[in-house]
Amino acid sequence: MIEKRTAYPDLQDGTPNPLKTLTAEQFAALGGNAVAFVRPITGTDLSDMITDADFEDESIYQLVMSADGTPLLVTDTDEAVDDWLTEHKLGLVSLH
């Protein structure tokens, strides 16, 4: 018989799992320089973030960011993202 388990079990002594009580800053620091996430972003939004570059307003770009939210790479292809992540030995996490 399969045992029913909670998705985020508390510790044996009944105290909450420490991961449940992390601040946003502590959570971001968990990834350090080891993980990144990718999100699609319009040229218009990129132009607001990066004022010294020209982006086509209606184009969709891929923005790679570190766990703490620091922008790392902007590109217009998934292949460039894959190559860059491999070159920099970063893991990719998904956003929920």
Secondary structure of residue 13 in the 3-state scheme: coil
Kindly state whether residue 6 falls inside one of the protein's structural domains: no
Q: Which position has the higher pLDDT, 91 or 61?
A: 61
| pLDDT for 4 beyond 70 | no
Extract the tokens encoding 72.
């790392």
Domain that holds residue 87: 33-92
Kindly state whether residue 40 falls inside one of the protein's structural domains: yes
Kindly state whether residue 28 falls inside one of the protein's structural domains: no
Predicted pLDDT at 84: 93
Extract the tokens encoding 35.
């993980």
Kindly state whether residue 84 falls inside one of the protein's structural domains: yes
Q: Which position has the higher pLDDT, 76 or 29?
A: 76
Kindly state whether residue 74 falls inside one of the protein's structural domains: yes
| Model pLDDT for residues 32-77, shown as the tens digit of each residue | 667 788 999 999 999 999 889 889 999 999 999 887 788 999 999 9
For the chain, how many structural domains are there in total? 1
Read off the pTM.
0.64
DSSP 58: T
Q: Quick one: which of 38, 90, 32 has its CA closest to 60?
A: 38
- For residue 55, the one-letter residue type is F
Contact 36, 85 (CB under 8 A): yes
Kindly state whether residue 59 falls inside one of the protein's structural domains: yes
Backbone angles phi, psi at 46, to 5 degrees: -65, -40
